[in-house]
Every structure is written in structure tokens, then in C-alpha cells.
Structure 1
Amino acid sequence: MPTPRHDPRFDSHRTTPPQLSRRGFVAALGGVAAAGALSGVAFGGPAFAGAAPLAADAATLADLGIPLSDVLAIGGAVGPGPDGRPVLWSAVSGDPAHLVALDPASAKTVSSQPLPGAPGSYAVAIGPDGTVWVGAYNTGQLFRRPPGRDSAVQDLGRPLASETYIWRLAIDAAGIVYGCTYPSAKAFGYDPATGAVRDYGTVVPGMSYARSIATDGGKLYVGTQPDANVVEIDVATGASRQLPLPDEVGDGVGSTVYDLNAYRGLVYARFGSAIDGSLGIWDTRRRSWSPLRDKVAGLDVSEPGPGGLVYYTRNGELTGLLPRTGTEVGTGLTFAGRVVNNRGIGWVSLPAKETPGQTLVGLLWRGEMFSYNPKTGAASRTATDIPGEPIPLASLAVGTTGRLWAGGYLNGGLAQLDPQTGSPAFQRFAQTESVLDLGADIWLGTYPDSRLYRYDPSKPWNSPEYSPGPEGTPENPVKVVDLHDEDQVRARASVDAGEHVAYGTLPNTTLGGALVLVAKATNAASVHRPVVTDQSIVSLAYTAGTIVGGTSIHGGYSVPAPTQTEAKLFGFDPVADAKTFEAVPVPGAESVDGLVVDADGGVWGYAAGTLFAFDLASRTVTRRATVGAGTGRLGYDAGTDTFLVLSGGTLHRVARADLAVTAVVDTDATFLAVAPDGTAFLGANTHVYRVVPA
């Protein structure tokens, strides 16, 4: 799963963390970026064109519906259900999320209750009395569901007013609930008996994410991001100390302690991402680490089961480990695809004869249940009846032939929509942040790892990573570029650059995106980084043999903080394979949100409420107009020679001839795509709309 890290989120370039809510994501994404500093560009041309009072164009919006829908189960745990029998509890993302209980014997839903206001959760834990606890991402809410068939879910609000994410929860034998948070990297304790909250403070100065938490023996263990630290906190005194890191992790810079579990004096720490990491075991008595085990997926290591073995997924197989000896045991239960991490795992007793004693059960990200019985070796994977939920948009695009595409956030997915009816053809896929449809080939920029795929729409779909086709079907889309090793995470901008496709990226744990050129004939890629110091590449255009890029001062997440102050334009010659210029088009703007080329080959951009023309010969801004406010989206309608700007809650039309600005329609949309015939499409949260002129 692309996770909020994403894992989690697709997030804005400002102060929001990797997983956003469905509503919060859309609101934040109205600001598609931010950018960095540069030396002088002259401002010439006519006087600044203002926007005077705007007359409404009386356009209407035709709702094309919800193009993307699927199951996304993240946080989960095993414990007593509504009638006391063990169930799989799962927080299923939605608007709002739902707390779902699944019968592990039948894989059927026995309870589903909304979590009001919450979009989803990584944090589900069961108290010793059977109370189910949930901590929400994006809203920072804490929920509880007391035991009982008809118990209601109770919203306890934010334990810490400053914290908008509860990443994970852990509960001790006394029933005290502990959590870890963003944006202040705090740990807290909540006493269910009194409602008292104890703030343990920021666990490591300078960190924003307290990403994982576990408790054992009167201690809390908290892991951080974007640099890996494991902090031990005495729950009674609040005294804390950082544990030494495993030798293989080095100083931890740029790494993440994604998961923590603690049982019987051993702390299981996974360093890496949601789908791939290295697992180490800290012995609290010996005060030392085991050697790390690679290729381990999250999100949890099970409690010890029969024979003292714990279980996790390694190299795509459910794997047992005897922790004191380091002996691993394969189970034969394998999981195909890119995202194979468990979403809640635990032990139950099942009534079937073929599953005597304890059986390990868990969920996968699409709501599929798995089980394994150590005594018999019986294993299964079973579809459940968890319904799909609408997926917020991560991208909206129209191709050269007029095909309309929508990419999904967090849950991922790609849909081609009928531009008249909205009828979608949906495929499970990665979080798709850019779509470049050139007719015969469609280029897909995805999160994480700033991957680029090439899709041939004339051939059957087969994505072994996300949605496999029939056996023997050639892979389609084909992964062309993966920038994991370059520490890149997002791919929001792409452009047809003649013999190449160019795309721009945002970094993961650092600053400074990459410009990638892919030869259409061979798929050979060249990666250029840095292009602009400490700036991401968030918009691209191509004209007269020059790639023009717009930057953001921010990285792919809210940390690290920017080192630059203004967004830039840059030029790149794909033949010479070299940057040709840098310039600041709009002083003080943090991002150049959009770039287009007009009918005469001129470059236009949008940044911080300003539409501007940029002359490549003189490298100056020659014309500009105030349109909307803040961040926005930019499109061009060649038929009417007008620009479409989505900003400040309004879709505007701007005439190139005189820069006259007209308000087309007020909207809460945050995505804009303009078809070759001039039809404009808007995306708002989970919906796509067609703009219908008066």
C-alpha cells in the first residue's frame, strides 16, 4: 500500500503528513506544491493586469460520479467481538471510516460502525477488558468501543490538542492506552478510568513523527521519522533514553522506525517502509540487538503462539521465528504483489476440525483474510464481504485523444471515465499522481518511489504488483523507472518532450527532486538531480526543444523544512542534456503550480495567485495577471485561446489577448483537466465534474 509515507498520503507540500483524510487531502491538495530561490529575472512587459469584479459565466457542473472505489484496511487487531467470540477488528478507510468486526471462521462482517469525522486509522488496539481503541489519522481523534453486542463507538476527541495524527496505539496490562503522534512527535497516555491524559512530550527534539509505539514491562518504546530513533520511556516517571541503533541502520538519518511490537522482554522494530523493511529484535535484559532480517513487511509481528514462535511476512511468505534462537520456519502461505503487509494479526480458536488449537489470522490491505494453523499446516486466503469505499482523487488528466483519467489517493487505482456519462473502467493500481496520455502509450507517475509506468491501452491490463491478469498475460503497464535508490517519492509532473517523456519528482526524506528523461524508443532513462538546489519539480512544459520546469521549495512530505524561499522556473535542453537557465517568475511564491504552452508556443505559468507569461529568449516575465489567490491549477483551451485557472474556490477563464478574467463557476474542486476540444473537467474529493457552459 502506498502509505500515508505512505503509506500514507499523498500530502500537500506544506505541513500535512503522509496520510490525509479524504476531505483533508482534497483541501490540502489545492496547493499543489511550493518552490525555491534563485537569482534575478527581470519583469518586463505591460502593466500588471488586475482582476476587477468578476462576472459569473453561469456555467454549471455535470456530476460524473465517483470513478474510484475499493477496500482499504489499514489498522487492525484481533480480540473479543460484539458477542465475546474472537474477531478481526479493522479500521476500513472511508468518509467516514468504519470500525468493522469480521468473524474469522466465516470471513463475514458481524459489525460495522462509523468513526465520525475520521478518514481512517493505522492504530487499532484491544484493551484487557475487550474494549476496542482506535486512533485516527488526519484528525487526531481517539475512539473507543466498549465490550458488548450493542455498544456504541465513543468519540473521545483529541487527547493532545496540537496533534492531528495518532499513528499507533499500545495498551498495557492495566488498560492504560498509549499513543504516538504527528506533528510534534509526542507520546501520550490515556487512563480510561478517569479520562486523564499524560503528555510525555516530544520524544526526540527535531522530529515531527512519532511513528510507532509498543509497551512492555512498564516501558514505552517509541519509533521516529524522518530519522530513525527508538526511545525507551518509563511510563511511571516519564524518564526517557534513546536506545542504540542496530549497526546496520547506522546513524538512522533518513530512515524510519515504521513498526514496533513488544512481547516478553523483546522489542521487535522494523526499519523501513510499510511494504519493505529490516526487522531487528531488542533484548531488554541483555540490552542488545539481534542481526537485522531484510525483506520484512509490516505492519505487525504477531504475539508468540504455539512453540513460542512469532510470525511476520518475509519475502512474500508468512514466516515463523523462534526469537531466542533466531530460527525461521516457512509456512508455505505466500502473498503475491507489491503490498503484502498484514493489517492486524492474532491468535484465535476456530471450530473447524482441520484447525485444532490456535490459528493465526490476519487481514491484507484489500480486506482479504488469511489464516494459518501451526499444528496442521493448514493455510488459507479468503475474500471477505467488506464493501469498497469511494477513493479521493490524486490526479485528473485528459489525453490527446480526449480520454479522461482519474488516479486514486492512498488506496490507489486508475480509472478511465466516459467524459459524457462518467462510467468508469477501474483498475487496482498504485497511488497515481500523474497521467500523460499520448494516444498509443499512457505514462503513469506513481507513489511511492517516484515510479513511472508505460501502459498500452490496446492490450490487456496485467499488473502483477496490484491487479494480476490471466496467467501468461504480458505485463501491462510496464515499470520503466523506479527511484527508490535516489530517495524520491512522488511523480506529479510529466510532459511529452519529443523523443522523450520527461517527468519531475519530489524527494522522500531529503530535499531536491529529479528530472527524469525517458527515451520513447527504448525506455532508457536518465536521472538528473539536483536540477534546482533543494527544490522539487512539480510542473513541466515543452516548447521549441526546451523542457521548462516549475519547482517547489518543499519536499514530498512536511519534513525536512525548506532551505529555499522562492519557487523557480528552469530550462533543460534534452539534446545537450543540460540545464539552460533558472529564474524566479513570481517573487515570494513557494511553488509554480502549473505550466502550459499557448497556440504560438509561448510558456505560461501559475504561481501564488499570478498567471504569467515567460519569454524563453529574454528569460523574463513579460505579462502577468492576478487570478484567484494562493495555489491552483492551470489549463489552456487552444480553441478559444484562453487559460483556465482553478484557484481560490473559483474556476476562472483568462483571455490571452487582453488577460481579461472571467469567473466561470464557484467550486470546491482541487483538480482541473482540459480536453483538446476545450471541455473542462474538475475533481473534488471523490467526484469528477464536467463544466457545462451556459
Structure 2
Amino acid sequence: MRPCEQSTSAARRVPALPTTSSEHTHNYGLDRICPARYAAASSVRGGRMPRPSLLATFVLVVSLLASLSADASTPAAGDMAWTARPLGPASVATPTGSGGFIGDVLWFSTRQTTPPTLIGLDPATGRAVDQIPLPAGQGAWVSAASGTDVYVGTYTPAKLYRVDTVSGAVDEILTAGDSGAVIYALAVAPDGVVYAGTYESSGGRIFAYDPATGAVTDLGVTVPGQDYVRALVADERHVYAGIGAAASLVRIDRATLEFTDVTPPDLAGATFVSSLALHDGVLLGGVSPRGQLLALDTADPSRYELVQAPAETFVVAVAGGEAGRAYFAARPSGTLYGYDLWSGTAEVLAVPAPEKAANGLTFHDGRVWGLVDGLAYSYDPADGSVTGLPLDAAGVSPNPERPMALAADAEHVYVSGSGGVQIHDIARGTSSRVFVPGEAKSLWPTGDTVYLSVYTRALIYELPRVSGPVRSLADIGHEQTRPRDSFFDEPTGRLYVATEPDYGRYGGALAVYDTGAGELDVYRDIVKAQTISAVTADGDTVYIGSDIKSGLGTPPVATRAEVAAVDAGTGTVRWSVDAPAGATVIGDLQLIGGELVGITSTGLLFGLDQASGDLRWEHGLGANASVLTPSATGVYTTDGKSIFRLTWPEPGVPVVSTVYTGLAGEWAGPPTVAATPDGTALFAVQGRTLVRLDVPGELFAAVSASAASSWVGDPDRSRVWQAFVTVSVLDGHGSPLAGARVSTAWRSDSGRPPGAATTCVTGGDGSCVLRGTVADTAAVTVDVTGVAHPSLPRGEVEVSESVTVAAPERTFR
């Protein structure tokens, strides 16, 4: 079938509405998303008469007559009243960066929130003694103390700031990169020289700043071809740098700036040395994704050992402790470990924050201090006790963060961020947060469950109720870390997740999780050496789109993305085609009206034959939108600035209209529009605020009205006449909607109160006639205010349609 020729009433939206169909095909309510096919303009919409300003006495007699046929049209979405109502911050959190002590105050940065802030926390009182915002940046991963100053590194842009914790003054030291650049690592040498390590797609660099002279030195790309300097530590003679996405360890002579590779051969195949510390002449580092601690003798780098933390993937923070003793934290468990130097084994000490990553670890006053999102904790080696200091209780206010994913169901809107999902209650206007062990890159509500696809370990979770907690379902594995898209197929109960591989790895995957059986199948490298970036399904056929980029830190091998049809049970490719127009990223795929409709990261819309993959049409959106959201009134998409509506009045290329502008959404994931299952409301992000846009009722029921009038009695003597208004209603198919109750209100032009509201019920041809007897006025206006019918959202939609009825052509004497 062609677009707009479907007959099912099933509706599907992304990412929250499950679909059902007697044929088990997903046509997404195309019976209801093609209102633009009603192309014939009604007499009212084509030339609406001005409303009279005076009201005269009139007598209204309403009768329900046989219906009359009439064409109808729906105006362009841009002509309707779309307004965005703010609902508060989309997601709020206190994700922490690293930190350290100055005296007895723990200073640390915040990441992912705006503005990035340096916070001083007094453990003795459990209160925040200072919160100093930084001038720029979308967050701050790292900080390092030096005297009474703290140096803080931000990202997007990558700037180094010095904060005077006594006066609160903030000075900008250097800019290491603009949008997308990150200062990931900071170290202060014993003489006060500061070293900053960066992520840049042109290669990870190290900058040195000497506060004594003010000189800034760019040490250049640390390892050619490697984009990440993830960890730094310095002593009197050397700076040590942990590198990725192919794990390396580099020693830099601080006097000569000579670089020496001291990477142990056993690190071959690892992705990162992601955390570093120096203790008792030993360099300690975390090795990813192996969950190993590296201990290396700084006097003889050929002497080293790797200590395996059981069932761990990441060593996220390390710190020296007492003489001969060190500590490290690992994920996914969130366990704190102890390590006696050169013992070869790690000791489980405590799980201060289950499943959370310690973003900073330091040893102070005989205790180990850790920073996790929303919490600082201390571990006492003397008695093994753990004390937690929740940051909200300490007076640290959560800040709005950039959303990562957005979805909605009938009662809630879900916004994912760093370490949690913000759940907005639509009716109450309140929100709460549920902890997630990572970042949910894709959300799919269905029934009373929300499926979450979570980074950093490509995990599948479910949120069985809005109060939480989340429950682990599956670990995709296969060197996958970052979910890019998901699709839940209601008839089969399968959840499909498209993933990107780990840093430095090639070959994304399609994960197929059977929610009924609890079984997982993973098909990797279906599109060779590319990420799977988009997924949808129909029965046993899964449709996928790719991104030529693989794991971060890898150069692309392919030059063009692909779209493929895959057997859900075997992973066999049924057909595969190159993306149109040389596109390198498929942002989304949807099955619409028998066609596979896709959009590229540059906003190119295209339609493929579902059975063969043959290209049927392509059309530029004119904006870099990438997520398509089908709903009852059209397919919506956004570039983060504007919201666009796609409809199919004819087979082939859609009609694109702009329904709202001025969002300026600040996203950490692809900008998205969500829709309620009935399609009556859209949700988007304006800045970092969640907004609601009520969909005009005209898009659900196409209404037209026509007018006629005649004199009562002798027109030469009578001042009384009859007004006739015929209202016609079409359903989503463009067919007459019989049995619809039409609500109207009459008014005239003399300043007296308007007449009572009246109704009529449409007949078999979708129309009904309202009749009114009028006296002493030249015109009346009938406002059509609503249409009620079981097929409409919540049984009724508001309508804004008016027709003015003029007196018959004869002036009063």
C-alpha cells in the first residue's frame, strides 16, 4: 500500500507507543497522519468572513436535519496556534567530577550540568561551604587543588580555569578546544606547574601552565592517531599520561619534554589507561575494559603487574593510601578495593554506592574519600565503616542537565540523563528521579514498563513502575558499549537495540531481546565495521541503518552508510542497500504506509520499498533532524531548534511544515519530540526545559462549515430570517465521520449575551445542519468548538472553526 491508504486504526510513535494490528504489520496509524490529503478548501477556510462586533436580539431554534455532503480541508500546521508551555527543567542532577582536599574541605567539580560549578563540601558539618559557578562549559570532568586554588577543566568548550577558593575569583587560563573538545585530565606537579590532557578528534594533546610565569606550552599530540588523554599524574621529574582509545602509557620528561612509551606489552588490545596515581614510587593505573589495576615501578618501568578485580569492567579511580597500600574503585559493581603494593591481589572492602562509578578517589586524614553522582562518601580502613554525604542534603542544588533521550506515555514523560531518568507526571505537573547505573541512551515505554538501553556497558534494564528501582534484564556484551536506538515490537514481545562498539573497536551490533522468554541474541558486524544507529521491525524482519563511525577513537573504514533488512531469528541479511545521496549516518527508520521511511543525520528524508530496499523518493528537510516520531496527526521531528510535521497527502514525498520554532534545545543526545499515545500533546526540550505543545484539534477531525439563510414570512415585511449552518466532519481516512456530536455556539452583533451552546449529530455522510431563527440583526456567527466521537483521542477534540451567516439579500425597511 501507498502512504495514506492504510485502513487500520493502530497508531505508533517513537519511542513510547506499542502497536497492534490484525495483520501484525506496523503501519503506525497512517489512517490518522495524513490530514493534508483533504486538499479541497471549504468556503469558510478559503475566505472566512469577519466576525460581527454588535449583538442583536435573536431567537434560536435548532433542528437536526438530514446531512449534506461537503469537502473539507485541514490548514497548514503553521497556520494553527501551537504554543509551548514550560513544565520545568527536563532533567536535574548533581553529577560529580573529580576533586581533592584543601585543608578539611573537599573541593570537586560538577559535570553534565550548566553552569559547571566548583563545590566546597565540609565533611565535619555535612554542608556545602561554597558553590562557585564557572563562566563557560557544559560541564567539568576534572579538578586539581594547588595551595588554596583549584584548577578546573571544562568541555564544550575545553577551558582551564583557576578558582581562588578564598575570594571566589575565577580566572581563565587557556582554551584547549571548542565544541566537542574535553579537558579529561589534570595534574599539578610538586612545583605547581599544571598539566591538562584533552580529547580532540585531531588527537589528544597535553598543555602545561606555569603559574609562576604565566606561560602556557602546548606539548602537542601525545600519541599520533589517539584522541584521548584520559589520565595524568606528575612528580618532580616526569608527567605520566594514560592514553586511548588504544591503551598506551607515556612518560614525559618535564625538563626536556621528551616522550617515552612505557606501555607494558600486556596492555595490547585494551582501550584505555583511564585513571592514574603515584604512591611510594609506584604508578597505579586503571585498565579498561578489563577491570584491571596496573602497578608499574617508576624506577624500572619494565617491572609491573596487573591485578584483576573479579567481574569488573572499569577501574574508574585510584588513590594511594597508607604506606604500601593503595585503593581503587571499579564498575559495574561500584566496589571499593584495597591493594597492597606488589601483592598481586585486590581485596574487596565495601560497596559504598552500588553500580555507581567513582568519579574521584582521594586519601585524606586516614580515610578514603569517593565522589559519585549525587554523593560523597568516606571509607575508614580502621573499622571498615562507610559514611555517605548526600549532596542534596548538603545544600547542593541539582542543576538542569542536557537530556540524552525523551519518551512519553499516557501519564508520564521520561527524560534520561547522567545516572538517572527524570519522570514527569503529566497530570500533576511534578517530577521525580529514578537512579540508573549509567546513561539511558534510548527509552521505550510500553504498558506499565519502560525499557532502557544503557551506556556504558550496553545493558538492557526495565523500569517496572515509575517509582523504581530499575531491574537488570540483559548484558549485550560483544564489545558493545553505547546503545544508539531501540524498538519494541508489541506482537512478538521483542526489544531490538542498535549499538555502537567500545572505544577503539569496529563493528556495531543488533541485539534481540525476547522479553517473554528472557533470551538474548546478538548479531555483530551485520554492516561490516560500522555502528548500527537505527532500528525498526515488522514481524520477523528487522530493518537497520548504520553509521560509518565505529567505536570512538577509530577512523571510519566505510565511506557510506547502509540500510538493511535482517532476519530477526538468524541475523541473516535479506537485502542491503547504500544510503541515498552518499549519507554517512542513518538517524532513524520508520515503517510508514508500506514504505521504509528514513532520515539521515543531515536531514535527508527518503523512502525505500519495504520488500526490496529500492529507493522510491528522497526529500531534503532543510534541517539536521534525525529522529522521526509518528503520531496520530503526523510524523514529527526536530533539529533542536524547530519542530517539523510530515504528512503524505499523496504517495511519495511528504509535505513538510514547521509547527514551532525557538526551541534552542541543549541536548546530549539526538534532539527528539515525544508524543502521547493519543497524539493530543507533544513534548520537546526548550533550552534545558521540558515543554508541552497541545496539538490543535483540527488535526484530528477535519471540520468544514457552510452557511445559508432565508426569510421567514414576507421578505418585504419581515425582520425575521433563518440561518442554516451545515457542518461536515471527516475522519482520519478522509471519509465522512458518522455519529459525531458537533458542539457549537451562536453569537450576533449587538452586544447582548451570546446564545446558548447547541449540538448536532452527523449522519451517514458526516454532516449535520443547525438551524436558527434570527431577528433584528444583519448577521450571526456560529463557532464550532468541538467534535465528540469514540474514535477520537479521549473521545473528543477541541475545534476552532467559525462561519458567519448573513441575512438574506434584502435590507431592512
Q: Find the partner of 1:398 among 401, 404, 408.
A: 408
Give yes or no for contact 1:393–1:684 (8 Å, CA) kept in 2: no
Structure 1 CA distance for aligned equivalents of residues 687 and 517 of structure 2: 37
Give yes or no for contact 1:672–1:681 (8 Å, CA) kept in 2: yes
Residue 55 of structure 1 deviates from its aligned partner by 5.3
Q: Find the partner of 1:90 among 84, 108, 113.
A: 108
Residue 139 of structure 1 deviates from its aligned partner by 1.9
- Spell out, residue by residue over 1:50-93, the C-alpha distance to the aligned partner (whole angstroms, 9 max, x if none): xxx9956442112222242222112111223xxxxx21111023
Q: Which residue of 2 aligns with 1:674?
A: 675
The question of 1:263 aligning with 2:279 is answered yes
Q: Find the partner of 2:416 among 388, 404, 408.
A: 408
The question of 1:158 aligning with 2:175 is answered yes
Q: 1:192 to 1:550 in 2, by over 3 A?
A: same
Question: TM-score, normalization: structure 1?
Answer: 0.80
Q: Which residue of 2 aligns with 1:29?
A: none
The question of 1:568 aligning with 2:562 is answered yes
SS of residue paired to 1:260: strand
Q: 1:389 to 1:636 in 2, by over 3 A?
A: same
Q: Find the partner of 1:452 among 438, 441, 460.
A: 460
Structure 1 CA distance for aligned equivalents of residues 94 and 541 of structure 2: 43
Aligned ranges for residues 259-408 of structure 1 at < 5 Å?
A: 259-272=275-288, 277-295=291-309, 298-305=315-322, 307-313=323-329, 317-323=335-341, 332-341=349-358, 343-348=360-365, 358-372=366-380, 374=382, 379-384=386-391, 385=394, 386-399=396-409, 402-408=410-416
Give yes or no for contact 2:543–2:564 (8 Å, CA) kept in 1: yes
- Spell out, residue by residue over 1:517-547, the C-alpha distance to the aligned partner (whole angstroms, 9 max, x if none): 1223211111111111122222222235422
Q: How many residues align?
A: 596
Give yes or no for contact 1:345–1:363 (8 Å, CA) kept in 2: no
Residue 576 of structure 1 deviates from its aligned partner by 5.7
Letter in 1 for 2:624: G
SS of residue paired to 1:287: coil
Letter in 2 for 1:272: S
Q: 1:445 to 1:110 in 2, by over 3 A?
A: same
Letter in 2 for 1:673: A
Q: Which residue of 2 aligns with 1:27?
A: none
Structure 2 CA distance for aligned equivalents of residues 387 and 649 of structure 1: 28
Aligned ranges for residues 455-470 of structure 1 at < 5 Å?
A: 455-457=463-465, 461-463=468-470
- Spell out, residue by residue over 1:361-385, the C-alpha distance to the aligned partner (whole angstroms, 9 max, x if none): 34333223314254x6665333341
Structure 1 CA distance for aligned equivalents of residues 484 and 427 of structure 2: 28
The question of 1:588 aligning with 2:582 is answered yes
Q: Which residue of 2 aligns with 1:181?
A: 198
Q: 1:92 to 1:602 in 2, by over 3 A?
A: same
Give yes or no for contact 2:306–2:344 (8 Å, CA) kept in 1: no
Residue 324 of structure 1 deviates from its aligned partner by 5.5
Q: Which segment drifts farther, 361-370 or 200-209? A: 361-370
The question of 1:201 aligning with 2:193 is answered no
Aligned ranges for residues 620-639 of structure 1 at < 5 Å?
A: 620-637=614-631, 639=632
Q: Which runs of 5+ in 2 are unaligned?
A: 1-75, 666-670, 697-813
Letter in 2 for 1:567: A
Q: 1:589 to 1:210 in 2, by over 3 A?
A: same
The question of 1:170 aligning with 2:178 is answered no
Q: Find the partner of 1:541 among 516, 533, 536.
A: 536
Q: Which residue of 2 aligns with 1:136?
A: 154
Question: TM-score, normalization: structure 2?
Answer: 0.68
Q: Which segment drifts farther, 235-244 or 56-65? A: 56-65
The question of 1:438 aligning with 2:461 is answered no
Q: Find the partner of 2:691 among 673, 677, 689.
A: 689
Give yes or no for contact 2:441–2:482 (8 Å, CA) kept in 1: no
The question of 1:118 aligning with 2:141 is answered no
Letter in 2 for 1:528: Y
- Spell out, residue by residue over 1:110-142, the C-alpha distance to the aligned partner (whole angstroms, 9 max, x if none): 111111212332321122x33211111332111
Q: 1:90 to 1:147 in 2, by over 3 A?
A: closer
Q: Which residue of 1 aligns with 2:723?
A: none
Residue 389 of structure 1 deviates from its aligned partner by 2.0
Letter in 2 for 1:661: V
The question of 1:529 aligning with 2:529 is answered no
Q: 1:452 to 1:325 in 2, by over 3 A?
A: closer
Residue 304 of structure 1 deviates from its aligned partner by 3.9
- Spell out, residue by residue over 1:297-341, the C-alpha distance to the aligned partner (whole angstroms, 9 max, x if none): 654433443x443333367554444426668666x5432411252
Q: Which residue of 2 aligns with 1:487?
A: 480
Structure having the larger proportion of residues in strand: 2
Give yes or no for contact 2:152–2:160 (8 Å, CA) kept in 1: yes
Residue 236 of structure 1 deviates from its aligned partner by 0.8
Residue 203 of structure 1 deviates from its aligned partner by 1.2
Q: 1:78 to 1:523 in 2, by over 3 A?
A: same
Q: Which runs of 5+ in 1 are unaligned?
A: 1-52, 81-85, 349-357, 464-476
Q: 1:551 to 1:69 in 2, by over 3 A?
A: same
Q: 1:593 to 1:303 in 2, by over 3 A?
A: same
Q: Which residue of 2 aligns with 1:45?
A: none
Q: 1:519 to 1:628 in 2, by over 3 A?
A: same
Letter in 2 for 1:89: W
Give yes or no for contact 2:321–2:368 (8 Å, CA) kept in 1: no
SS of residue paired to 1:663: strand
Residue 448 of structure 1 deviates from its aligned partner by 1.3
Q: Which residue of 2 aligns with 1:553?
A: 548
Q: 1:240 to 1:577 in 2, by over 3 A?
A: closer
Q: Which segment drifts farther, 53-62 or 135-144? A: 53-62
Q: 1:270 to 1:153 in 2, by over 3 A?
A: same
Q: 1:562 to 1:495 in 2, by over 3 A?
A: farther
Q: 1:631 to 1:181 in 2, by over 3 A?
A: same
Structure 1 CA distance for aligned equivalents of residues 149 and 531 of structure 2: 45
- Spell out, residue by residue over 1:530-582, the C-alpha distance to the aligned partner (whole angstroms, 9 max, x if none): 1111222222222354221222112353x212111222211122256522111
Q: Which residue of 2 aligns with 1:579?
A: 573
Give yes or no for contact 1:373–1:379 (8 Å, CA) kept in 2: no
* Rg larger in structure: 2
The question of 1:237 aligning with 2:233 is answered no
Give yes or no for contact 1:57–1:663 (8 Å, CA) kept in 2: no
Structure 2 CA distance for aligned equivalents of residues 424 and 379 of structure 1: 30
Give yes or no for contact 2:92–2:422 (8 Å, CA) kept in 1: no
Residue 656 of structure 1 deviates from its aligned partner by 0.8
